[in-house]
Amino acid sequence: DIQMTQSPSSLSASVGDRVTITCRASQTIDNFLNWYQQKAGKAPKLLIHAASSLQSGVPSRFSGSGSGTEFNLTISSLQPEDFVTYYCHQSYSVPDSFGQGTKLEIK
């Protein structure tokens, strides 16, 4: 099974900051990497698929990069509604697996 390691597990930042969250796979997953945003008490929402493709309707301040085993989610200018939790997800091989999550907190 492929293990996904997300870092950091939490991150303190300010509105307007640029932040990057990293996800590492235990083996190569090409670009089969997706990013989701989860607000408290809500279902996850797809932000990025195929490592770098922005899902329709998602603000352009979100971007994804990487391939192989290392991937990044970057938020270029944090907005108040972005201080929630983010998960990466590999769909290269079953069983699918998720990172443990990164919680963004207001500094």
Partner 1 sequence: QVQLQESGPGLVKPSQTLSLTCTVSGDSVTSGGYYWSWIRQPPGKGLEWIGYIYYSGSTYYNPSLKSRISISVDTSKNQVSLKLTSVTAADTAVYYCARGSMVGNYFFDYWGQGTLVTVSA
Q: What distance in Å separates the CA atoms of residue 5 and residue 62, rounded to the nearest whole number?
A: 20
Give the x-and-dash track for 16-45 against partner 1 (CB under 8 A): ---------------xx-x-x-----xxxx
- Smallest gap from residue 74 Cβ to partner 1 (A): 18
Residue with smaller CB distance to partner 1, 15 or 30: 30
DSSP letters for 5-51: EEE-SEEEE-TT--EEEEEEESS--TT-EEEEEE-TTS--EEEEETT
* CA nearest neighbour of 18 among 78, 72, 60: 78
Q: Does 63 bind partner 1 (CB under 8 A)?
A: no
Size of the site for partner 1 (CB under 8 A): 26
What letter would DSSP give residue 81?
A: G
| Interaction site with partner 1 (CB under 8 A) | 1, 31-32, 34, 36, 42-46, 49-51, 53, 55, 87, 89, 91, 94-101
